[in-house]
């Protein structure tokens, strides 16, 4: 190993060091000052993100699509940097609102932020792992931290249920995925994605079996049907900031890992995986949308909606032969980061006052907190895909890719699904704007939550109204190191 | 059938029977002790693969430490000693159908694959080689493992500790 290679790992090193420092500082911080630990967590994301951007500049100065270090186990390319920035954005925003949520609910504030940072390190590694062992390990890193965070509120039975359910489901799918990985190793004699691709040869049905089993693990992370059953219970029971984190962080990193594994490790000529994913995408978006229609709990509704959105993003993999596909996936996941985090943050505002996540209990929010209700309107319209929001551009890219790849039926199904989704998204707005509030009077919104909401709102609108910078970055990030 | 194949099937039977007992036993302590034949069988499979170093580690860590640790956890968890927990629920038939179908599918496919020698050379299995591969190609995975364990320790303490 070469010591100079460590510089490509600076974002991970910064975030790990911050997490360990935070744990040590926690020991010496008196209870009334624990909130500073949260600010430290938010601040530590800044140097990590800055170093990721600098590394991207270094790559461009080298005129290289990417570097592979540590015997090809770790790859840094523009694609990885893009997902690292998305992951860091999720960690920062979720830490910010956690500052308002967790004090008073748990005495172990320091550990919340340390685990969030550790989960962040896992996400950074997932975006770069190009070896089955590191890939499995980084997925487990994110999963284990997530199980703990989902079950963090010990006195809340729903949080306990969320933690245990997430853990049991995750353990089972990881086992299946590890078995699939072992088959890939057995067929090729290598754990490196760069070696597996060329060596797969004419292995026939065993490769399909291995890919299918590996998909169980990835499907669990991105909540793809039929590995989605955990989603509503965990999203409903977990502390709301953690739910927000689960819906964007691990999902985006799961897609990053899935894209890298399939595009680098499994040649299209051996396995027709776009066809397989087209079927899964159609199933995922339809099941998610139909089940979302009947939900009365806002967090459960957003859980089913997040399953539907996983279906839309899977369209990019189904349409892989189109040059628009990867751009669509990248743009959509950034848009989804802002709009979905925003929706969960709004859910926190009303739940803080009423103690309930039921949609009718959000009635009259437009009178009690007009700006929050207006932001929710933007997020709901963006999730539906109505211009000029980021969600519209994301869907436009994805639908164009599907049409371009000749998957007209899939694009038509996605449009139909988007129309159906309008019903339940507008249902939320109806409660917010047309139903009278149960208790009148303005609703206080804590500062951290206000800041998080503002960033999400600006992100959703800016990426929709002025998409050029994002599109340019997405163009760069398309350069995926393929071997 | 030669002696090696015979040994393999005997060890595999040990692993499967032990595993079955772990998930069937209603007594937690019995379930924990049933892990021993399973883990010993896996150690035997490593011997068949000429992985002596991994065998030693398997015996020390899994058969020795992990099993004892699980027994201690049962001992120290209030009221769990001698506790009889039902391991079956109404989903057993469905689970049997799904896992049975998966086993048949795996057999159907894996028995037909021309496994042949893998494209790469088999890595050597001695302590030196294992150490070199941990500290050279897999150094990043090795270091990340320590972070994973740290995160799990912190989380486990928070979840398990009694609130004052």
Q: Does the structure show a pLDDT above 80 at B84?
A: no
CA dist., res. B15 & res. A178, Å (int): 18
Q: Say how many residues make up chain A.
A: 483
Cβ–Cβ of B140/A16 closer than 8 Å? no
Q: Which residue of chain A comes nearest to B149, CA vs CA?
A: A141
CA dist., res. A244 & res. A429, Å (int): 20
pLDDT on residue B37: 93
CA dist., res. A182 & res. A214, Å (int): 10
Which of the 8 DSSP states describes residue B162? P
Cβ–Cβ of B148/A144 closer than 8 Å? yes
Cβ–Cβ of B158/A133 closer than 8 Å? no
- Predicted confidence band of residue B81 (pLDDT cuts 50, 70, 90): low
pLDDT on residue B28: 83
Selecting from B120, B148, B158 the residue whose C-beta is nearest the C-beta of A137 gives B148
What value does the mean pLDDT take over residues B24-29?
Answer: 83
Selecting from A108, A137, A188 the residue whose C-beta is nearest the C-beta of B145 gives A137
Q: Does the structure show a pLDDT above 60 at B120?
A: no
Best of A109, A144, A146, A161 to substitute, by most chain B Cβ atoms within 10 angstroms, is: A144
Least Cα separation, residue B106 to chain A (angstroms): 8
B138 reaches A (C-beta below 8 A): yes
pLDDT on residue A269: 82
Selecting from A23, A208, A209 the residue whose C-beta is nearest the C-beta of B154 gives A23
Q: Does the structure show a pLDDT above 60 at B118?
A: no
Which of A277, A269, A263 lies closest to A316, judged by CA? A277
Selecting from A107, A141, A205 the residue whose C-beta is nearest the C-beta of B109 gives A205
Instruction: Name the one residue in this structure whose structure tokens are 């060890």.
Output: B11
Cβ–Cβ of A73/B140 closer than 8 Å? yes
Helix/strand/coil for B79: coil
Burial class (CB in 10 A: 0-12, 13-18, 19+), A86: buried
Q: Which residue of chain A comes nearest to B155, CA vs CA?
A: A148
**H helices present in A29-131, as ranges:** 35-61, 78-101, 109-128
- Predicted confidence band of residue B163 (pLDDT cuts 50, 70, 90): confident
Q: Say how many residues make up chain B.
A: 164
Helix/strand/coil for A238: coil
Least Cα separation, residue B159 to chain A (angstroms): 7
Cβ–Cβ of A141/B147 closer than 8 Å? yes
Which of the 8 DSSP states describes residue A268? T
User: In chain B, what residues touch A151 (CB-CB under 8 Å)?
Assistant: 159
Compute the count of residue pairs across chains A and B with CB atoms less than 8 Å apart. 105
Q: What is the pTM of this model?
A: 0.93
Cβ–Cβ of A148/B113 closer than 8 Å? no
pLDDT on residue A113: 95
* CATH number, domain B1-87, options 1.20.120.1200, 1.10.3720.10, 2.40.37.10, 1.20.1250.30: 1.20.120.1200
Instruction: Name the one residue in this structure whose structure tokens are 């393929």.
Output: A482
**H helices present in A200-297, as ranges:** 205-222, 230-237, 240-260, 273-292
* More confident: A185 or B76: A185
CA dist., res. A87 & res. A82, Å (int): 9
Q: pLDDT 10s per residue in chain A (483 long)?
A: 577 888 999 999 999 999 999 999 999 988 888 889 999 999 999 999 999 999 998 888 888 888 898 888 999 999 999 999 999 999 999 999 999 999 888 888 999 999 999 999 999 999 999 999 999 999 999 999 999 999 999 888 999 999 999 999 999 999 999 999 999 988 888 899 999 888 887 667 888 899 999 999 999 999 998 899 999 999 999 999 999 999 999 999 999 999 999 999 888 888 889 999 999 999 999 999 999 999 999 999 999 999 999 999 999 999 998 888 999 999 999 999 999 999 999 999 878 777 788 888 888 888 888 999 999 999 999 999 998 899 999 999 999 999 999 999 999 999 999 999 999 999 999 988 998 887 888 888 888 999 999 999 999 999 988 888 888 888 888 877 775
Burial A232-252 (b: 16+ CB within 10 A, else e): bbbbbbbbbbbbbbbbbbbbb
The first and second tokens of residue A450, run together, are: 């206000």
How many Cα neighbours within 13 Å face the side chain of A345?
38
pLDDT on residue A139: 95
Cβ–Cβ of A203/B119 closer than 8 Å? no
B112 reaches A (C-beta below 8 A): yes
Task: Give counts: helices (H), strands (E), chain A.
Answer: 19, 2
Cβ–Cβ of A141/B151 closer than 8 Å? yes
What value does the mean pLDDT take over residues B5-21?
Answer: 93
Residues sharing a CB contact under 8 Å with residue A95, sequence separation 6 or more, in sequence order? A38, A41, A42, A45, A113, A116
């Amino acid at each position: 190993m070469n010591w100079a290679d460590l510089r490509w790992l600076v974002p991970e090193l910064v975030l790990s060091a911050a997490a360990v420092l935070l744990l040590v500082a926690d020991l010496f911080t008196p209870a009334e000052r624990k909130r500073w630990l949260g600010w430290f967590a938010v601040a530590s994301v800044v140097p990590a993100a800055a170093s990721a951007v600098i590394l991207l500049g270094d790559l461009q100065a080298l005129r290289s699509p990417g570097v592979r270090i540590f015997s090809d186990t770790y790859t840094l390319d523009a694609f990885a940097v893009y997902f690292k920035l998305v992951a860091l954005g999720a960690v920062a925003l979720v830490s910010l609102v956690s500052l308002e949520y967790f004090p008073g609910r748990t005495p172990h504030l320091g550990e919340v932020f340390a685990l969030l940072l550790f989960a962040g390190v896992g996400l950074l590694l997932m975006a770069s792992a190009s070896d089955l062992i590191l890939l499995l390990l980084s997925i487990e890193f994110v999963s284990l931290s997530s199980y703990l965070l989902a079950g963090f509120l010990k006195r809340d039975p729903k949080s306990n249920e969320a933690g245990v359910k997430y853990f049991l489901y995750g353990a089972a799918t990881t086992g299946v995925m590890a078995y699939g990985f072992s088959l890939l190793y057995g067929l090729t004699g290598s754990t490196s994605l760069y070696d597996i691709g060329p060596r797969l040869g004419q292995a026939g049905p065993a490769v399909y079996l291995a890919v299918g089993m590996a998909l169980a693990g990835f499907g669990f992370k991105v909540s793809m049907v039929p590995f989605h059953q955990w989603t509503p219970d965990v999203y409903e029971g977990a502390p709301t900031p953690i739910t927000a984190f689960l819906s964007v962080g691990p999902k985006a990193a799961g897609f990053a890992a899935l894209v890298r594994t399939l595009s680098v490790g499994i040649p299209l000529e051996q396995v027709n995986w776009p066809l397989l994913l087209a079927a899964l995408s159609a199933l995922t978006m339809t099941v998610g949308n139909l089940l979302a229609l009947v939900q009365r709990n806002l967090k459960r509704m957003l859980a089913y909606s997040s399953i539907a959105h996983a279906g839309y993003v899977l369209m990019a993999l189904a349409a892989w032969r189109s040059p628009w596909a990867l751009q669509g996936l990248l743009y959509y996941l950034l848009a989804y980061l802002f709009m979905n985090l925003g929706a969960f943050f709004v859910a926190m505002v009303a739940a803080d006052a009423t103690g309930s996540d039921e949609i009718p209990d959000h009635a009259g929010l437009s009178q009690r907190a007009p700006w929050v209700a207006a932001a929710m309107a933007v997020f709901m319209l963006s999730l539906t895909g109505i211009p000029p929001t980021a969600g519209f551009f994301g869907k436009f890219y994805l639908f164009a890719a599907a049409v371009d790849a000749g998957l007209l039926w899939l694009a038509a199904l996605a449009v139909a699904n988007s129309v159906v989704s309008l019903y339940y998204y507008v249902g939320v707005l109806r409660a917010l704007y047309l139903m009278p509030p149960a208790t009148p009077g303005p609703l206080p919104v804590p500062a951290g939550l206000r800041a998080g909401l503002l960033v999400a709102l600006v992100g959703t609108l800016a990426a929709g109204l002025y998409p050029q910078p994002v599109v340019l970055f997405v163009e760069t990030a398309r350069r995926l190191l393929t071997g | 059938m030669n002696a090696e194949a015979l040994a393999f099937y005997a060890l595999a039977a040990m692993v499967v029977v032990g595993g079955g007992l772990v998930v069937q036993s209603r007594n937690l302590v019995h379930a924990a002790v049933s892990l021993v034949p399973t883990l010993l069988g896996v150690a035997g499979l490593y011997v068949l693969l000429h992985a002596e170093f991994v065998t030693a580690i398997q015996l020390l860590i899994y058969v020795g430490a992990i099993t004892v640790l699980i027994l201690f956890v049962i001992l120290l968890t209030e009221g769990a000693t001698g506790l009889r927990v039902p391991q079956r629920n109404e989903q057993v038939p469905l689970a049997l159908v799904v896992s049975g179908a998966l086993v048949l599918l795996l057999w159907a496919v894996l028995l037909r694959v021309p496994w042949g020698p893998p494209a790469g050379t088999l890595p050597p299995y001695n302590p030196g080689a294992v150490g070199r591969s941990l500290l050279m190609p897999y150094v990043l995975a090795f270091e990340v493992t320590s972070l994973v364990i740290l995160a799990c320790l912190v989380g486990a303490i928070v979840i398990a500790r009694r609130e004052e």
